[in-house]
């Protein structure tokens, strides 16, 4: 579901991780921008639906996304190219980036929801107007390929955005409740997996596993592992120093997960984080025969030596029920309890 594939090698130069660029490639100071909170969203406000990545497979997906937003009590504005197509993409790079810039600039629009993920959001990063985004801070919601936007906007504009369900995804009771609590009620959320024993004697679903115990505090950064590591060596990753790294992925062989963790290690990113929250790696099983390293072995190799709190199994990723978490928001994690919580509001007062 919502599959994204980035093809190409990730650069390994750690010094390049924090060299921001302005729109059009002009050099900017290598200091991280001050964090900016989005304006609050309320029932009755207008939400924009944008398609930064893959085109919708069926125009009906746009209708479903619109109906879901309306059912949540919001008005809907479709970006001009939300239903466009160029190859697998939802329009040209200029069209898709133009939609994002226009929706941030539109005073009628109070928030932005990405219709789907897929592939192609990273192509837009040099075309976004980060100064405009910073001057018009609004909530932006999406996951998977939208990881590219979350990290670039945080690194370049300092804006807190939200990793969670896409417009055309499942708006089941859990996801709708997450949306209302985060955006309408503006709770200081506690993210603890929902226990689900089903008809099992011992619960198997939604279990968390402690990799290394302890507590840590810091700003959340991360998202989809493949998309994140494809940004290595670019100016579109935030500084990882003292951050809580959250990750997820889908349909990746463990040897590829190992390669991506190796990239994060070689860039120096892993050595700077304060904690790790790993969500679901859906369809990431070892191959037949001798297979590959398992995910627990990969965590043992890369995370255990860091001596930081870490756990896996959080409800983040390509799953039916998923948390909506603030990229750039300050949290405290407890690896032994398998949970984390917001420390500060993530919207303007």
Nearest residue to 162 (alpha-carbon basis) of 153, 172, 171: 153
Among the listed residues 2, 150, 163, 318, the single catalytic one is 318
Query: Is position 144 annotated as part of the catalytic site?
Result: yes
124's CB contacts (< 8 A; 6+ apart) are 52, 93, 96, 97, 100, 148, 149
Angle at which helices 254-266 and 295-302 cross, to 10°: 10
343's CB contacts (< 8 A; 6+ apart) are 188, 217, 330, 331, 332
Query: Is position 5 annotated as part of the catalytic site?
Result: no
Distance CA 159, CA 326 (A): 10
CB atoms within 10 A of CB 147: 27
Distance CA 148, CA 170 (A): 22
Query: Is position 318 annotated as part of the catalytic site?
Result: yes
Instruction: Determine the 3-state secondary structure of 48 from DSSP.
Output: strand
Among the listed residues 66, 119, 144, 327, the single catalytic one is 144
Do the Cβ atoms of 260 and 299 come closer than 8 Å?
no
Place of tokens 């062989």: 253
Do the Cβ atoms of 327 and 163 come closer than 8 Å?
yes
Among the listed residues 66, 163, 248, 252, the single catalytic one is 248
Q: Catalytic residue numbers?
A: 144, 248, 318
């Amino acid at each position: 579901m919502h599959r994204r594939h980035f093809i190409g090698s990730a650069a390994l130069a750690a010094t390049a991780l924090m060299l921001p660029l302005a729109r059009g490639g002009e050099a900017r100071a290598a200091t991280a921008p001050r964090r900016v909170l989005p304006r609050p969203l309320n029932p009755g406000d207008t939400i924009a639906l944008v398609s930064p990545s893959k085109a919708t497979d069926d125009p009906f997906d746009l209708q479903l996304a619109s109906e879901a937003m309306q059912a949540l009590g919001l008005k809907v504005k479709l970006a001009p190219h939300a239903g466009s197509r160029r190859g697998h993409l939802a329009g040209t790079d200029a069209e898709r980036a133009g939609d994002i810039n226009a929706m941030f600039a539109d005073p009628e629009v109070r928030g932005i929801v990405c219709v789907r993920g897929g592939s192609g959001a990273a192509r837009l990063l040099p075309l976004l107007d980060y100064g405009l985004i910073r001057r018009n801070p609004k909530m932006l919601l999406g996951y998977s390929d939208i990881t590219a936007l979350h990290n670039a906007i945080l690194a370049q504009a300092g804006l807190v955005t939200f990793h969670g369900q896409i417009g055309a995804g499942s708006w089941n009771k859990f996801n709708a409740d997450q949306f209302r609590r985060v955006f309408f009620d503006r709770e200081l959320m506690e993210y603890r997996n929902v226990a689900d024993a089903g008809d099992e004697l011992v619960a198997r679903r939604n279990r968390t596993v402690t990799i290394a115990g302890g507590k840590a505090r810091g700003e959340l950064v991360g998202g989809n592992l493949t998309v994140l590591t494809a940004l290595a060596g670019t100016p579109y990753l935030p500084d990882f120093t003292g951050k809580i790294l959250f990750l997820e992925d889908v349909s990746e062989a463990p040897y590829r997960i190992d390669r991506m963790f190796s990239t994060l290690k070689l860039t120096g990113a892993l050595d700077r984080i304060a904690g790790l929250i790993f969500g679901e790696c859906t369809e990431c099983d070892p191959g037949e025969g001798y297979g590959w390293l398992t995910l627990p072995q990969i965590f043992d190799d890369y995370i255990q030596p860091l001596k930081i709190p870490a756990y896996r199994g959080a409800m983040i990723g390509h799953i039916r029920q998923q948390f909506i978490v603030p990229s750039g928001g300050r949290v405290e994690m407890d690896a032994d309890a398998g949970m984390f919580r917001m420390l500060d509001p993530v919207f303007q007062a």
